[in-house]
Amino acid sequence: MGTWDIGPFDNDTAADFSYRVDSASAEKKADVLRTAFREVTGTGDAYLDADLSMEAIASAALVAAQCPGGEAVTTSYGPKEPLGVLPVELRAEAVAALDRVLAEPSELLELWEESDGEEWKTGVRTLRGVLAGG
């Protein structure tokens, strides 16, 4: 899985995703995040690939960093370039994506449940709470 910890950027997929965010022009950075959310929510009841989930969680962390109570993304695996002010409507899309990540059938959820994934799930739920404003 290329994962070394439970944080949003503590896996190879999210670190690679950061490069994609950095590579986007200033005007397109929000679109990169929105696409990550929509790829997850667009799966409906189909099996959700872990890589899509990891990108959505990383995107959600970037959006949450601009919310009241959000934590700055300070890891060296996150984007290096500033994101600018992100559209507020991304918060609802991020919440929907995180809800989908935590719902079956989800490969990332299954992988974490094979180990002690409660701490990971708590982190995702905390991130969701920041995005939902509570």
Give a yes or no: residue 7 inside a domain.
Answer: no
Does the structure show a pLDDT above 90 at 1? no
Give a yes or no: residue 60 inside a domain.
Answer: yes
Give a yes or no: residue 94 inside a domain.
Answer: yes
Give a yes or no: residue 4 inside a domain.
Answer: no
Show the domain range for 97: 12-132
Phi, psi (degrees; rounded to nearest 5) at 48: -95, 120
Give the total number of structural domains in the chain.
Answer: 1
pLDDT (tens digit, 9 = 90+) per residue, 46-56?
999 999 999 99
Angstrom distances, CA of residue 75 to CA of 8, 15, 80: 10, 10, 9
Give a yes or no: residue 2 inside a domain.
Answer: no
Does the structure show a pLDDT above 90 at 2? no
